[in-house]
Copies of this chain bind each other. A is one copy, B any other.
Amino acid sequence: MPPGDVESQALAVFAALTDPTRRALLDELARAGPATVTDLARRLPISRQAVAKHLGQLAEAGLISSAGPTGRRHPYRLEPAAIRTAQTWLARLAHRWDDRLAALEDALDATEDAPHATETNRGDTRP
């Protein structure tokens, strides 16, 4: 899987975790194990179709996976791998930030007697 997909999956995971209803769905799957759409809709105070949409997004983010069409019931189960992906992406981001901050501090020390145009461009404003 190319690194670009890692980023997009991490972002999808973040977007998925942002919504409280989706977090409730994940909590429910973690609490009582795999469940189907109507199953979850009965436990949450929202309609079945709303649950289906959210499960679709969660599946697209890789946080859950359909167990396959076993007869008529389509149970979904948690998929911890997606969280790990997002986690490592976050770790890389933090690392990058640390590096940049250190580099900028070094540059600030070096330019203390040579005030170059390191600052932001002070260009003209267009009316």
A interface list, Cβ under 8 A from B: 11, 14-15, 17-18, 30-33, 35, 39, 42-43, 78, 80, 83-84, 86-87, 90-91, 93-94, 96-98, 100-101, 104, 120-121, 123, 125
Contacts and interface: CB of A to CB of B under 8 A. Distances in A.
Copies of this chain, complex-wide, total 2
A33 B98 contact: no
A31 B100 contact: yes
Contacts of A30: 96-97, 100
B101 A78 contact: yes
20 contacts: A11-B17, A14-B14, A15-B18, A18-B18, A30-B96, A30-B100, A32-B120, A35-B120, A39-B120, A42-B121, A42-B123, A42-B125, A43-B120, A78-B100, A83-B94, A84-B94, A86-B90, A87-B87, A87-B91, A90-B90
